[in-house]
Amino acid sequence: MKMFSATSFALLSLIAVTAANINITSPPVTNWGLWGTFQRCPFGSYAQGFQLKTEPYQGLFTDDTALNSVKLFCGDPFRPDTAVITSTEGQFGSWGNIYSCFPGYLNGFQLRVEEYQGNSDDTATNNARFYCSNLPNPNDYVEGDGLSYGSWSQEQRCYSSQYICAIQTQVEPNMGDDDDTMLNNVRMECCDYLVTAPNGSVVQGNTETQKKSLPVILLAGSKPNFPQTDETENMPR
């Protein structure tokens, strides 16, 4: 009995320890443009899906920009009342597929970036991957539908007690006749996962316990079985 109490106390202590919120930022492979303002999920909600705005390949002698913006969904992306956050957006391209980890949460990301091309056409950031709390393995990710120039830079992860809750983007302004790149870097805030206790107080939630209760995203081969291309089919009925 004495040992049980000691173990229980140790477990409670672990759960009570909260890491402070942290920012995770893409390594500046390119570093053009200004940082926009942070946009945040409503308190107590976290990113559970994403969408990329990409300019398709423009042909050999036309100025390409590739990835222009990243949108995060603070809840189920296929519910119309879910809050959406973006920070600064590049003006070119269009929004692609919606990728959902719901009911899991985003807890890290990685950018695909083309390094400086000198006098040739620069595109900077091309694509993004996200890590989700309910993927079968920690190294599994959901990859967006951006372009494929450049290479994947160092992945950025939240602490295990946190999920992504805010986004800030660095976007190069329109260069007119000069070489445009638009989105260059992304910064995200990782917030401690908080829940409301039965007595009404807000406490640190246990992400490990929660993970066990979530349905795991099924993988088709080595890739998650995304995207869900038909939006209307996934709207709540």
Number of residues that bind Ca ion (CB under 5 A): 7
Amino acid (1-letter code) at residue 46: Y
Site string for Ca ion, 44-63 (x = CB under 5 A): -------------------x
Phi, psi of 50 (to 5 degrees): -150, 165
Tokens 């995207």: give the residue.
227
Nearer Cβ to Ca ion (30/134): 30
Site string for Ca ion, 1-40 (x = CB under 5 A): ----------------------------------------
Q: Which of 18, 179, 210, 214 binds Ca ion (CB under 5 A)?
A: 179
Q: Rounded CA gap, 199 and 201, in Å? A: 6
Tokens 């967006």: give the residue.
144
Other Cβ atoms closer than 10 A to 203: 14
- Residues 123, 164, 156: CA angle, nearest 5 degrees: 55
In the complex, the smallest distance separating the C-beta of residue 66 from Ca ion, rounded to whole angstroms, is 8
Nearer Cβ to Ca ion (91/228): 91
Nearer Cβ to Ca ion (18/58): 58
Nearer Cβ to Ca ion (9/116): 116
- 145 interacts with Ca ion by CB under 5 A: no
- 76 interacts with Ca ion by CB under 5 A: no
Site residues (CB under 5 A) for Ca ion, limited to 79-118: 117
Nearer Cβ to Ca ion (64/192): 64
* Strand 22-25 to 83-85 pairing: unpaired
- 180 interacts with Ca ion by CB under 5 A: yes
- 122 interacts with Ca ion by CB under 5 A: yes
Q: Which of 22, 35, 83, 121 binds Ca ion (CB under 5 A)?
A: 121
Nearer Cβ to Ca ion (13/120): 120
Nearer Cβ to Ca ion (120/232): 120
List Cα–Cα distances, 163 to 81, 109, 136, 230, 234, in angstroms: 20, 11, 17, 27, 24
The region of 81-89, 106-114, 134-142, 174-182 touching Ca ion under the rule CB under 5 A is 174-182
* Residues in contact with Ca ion by the rule CB under 5 A: 63-64, 117, 121-122, 179-180
